[in-house]
Amino acid sequence: MSDIAKILGQRIRNYRTAKHLSQEKLAELSDCHPTYIGQIERGEKNATLESIAKIASALQVSLSELFEKLGEQGDGSRNIPLECYEFLSAKSKKEQEHLYRILLEMDCYKKN
């Protein structure tokens, strides 16, 4: 499956786990089959836009958040800012703030 399907699936999984939802609960909330949710999260299925919209609604995230910066690195090289974004987006707001403060402190330390 494409990298985009895998990245999108991982984002869905990140949002789902951050909200403490099981695949079964997300399937129920989005009116999708639990097997289908698992296949999307693993990047095994190309989901329809309608299904993605239902999943986004069930996760209470906008489609724009789900698709943000998707597919920007097409040359096969690592996109470290995108990897950081993916890492942080899977965390709670409190964890994001804490990690951001750590980064700021590390940056200040580096300058000294």
pLDDT tens-place string over residues 45-59: 999 999 999 999 999
Mean pLDDT (the chain, rounded): 87
Residue 46 gets which letter from DSSP? -
The Cα–Cα gap between 2 and 70 comes to 12
pLDDT for 87 equals 82
* pLDDT over 90 at 82, yes or no: no
Torsion of CA 53, 26, 35, 7, to 10 degrees: 60
* Average pLDDT over every residue of 96-111: 88
3-class DSSP assignment, residue 93: helix
Range of the domain at 83: 3-111
How sure is the predictor about 71, in pLDDT bands with cuts at 50, 70 and 90? Answer: low
Could you tell me which residues come within 8 angstroms of residue 53 by beta carbon, excluding any fewer than 6 positions away?
A: 63
| 79 token code pair | 């996109």
Across the range 68-88, mean pLDDT stands at 72
Average pLDDT over residues 65-88: 74
Six-digit token string for 63: 């489609």
Residue 35, pLDDT > 90, answer yes
Mean pLDDT of 33-38: 96
Total-model pTM: 0.69
- Report the CATH number at residue 14: 1.10.260.40
Position 93 scores a pLDDT of 85
- The pair phi, psi for residue 46, each rounded to 5°, is -85, 105
Q: What is the mean pLDDT of residues 59-71?
A: 85
**How many domains does one find in the chain?**
1
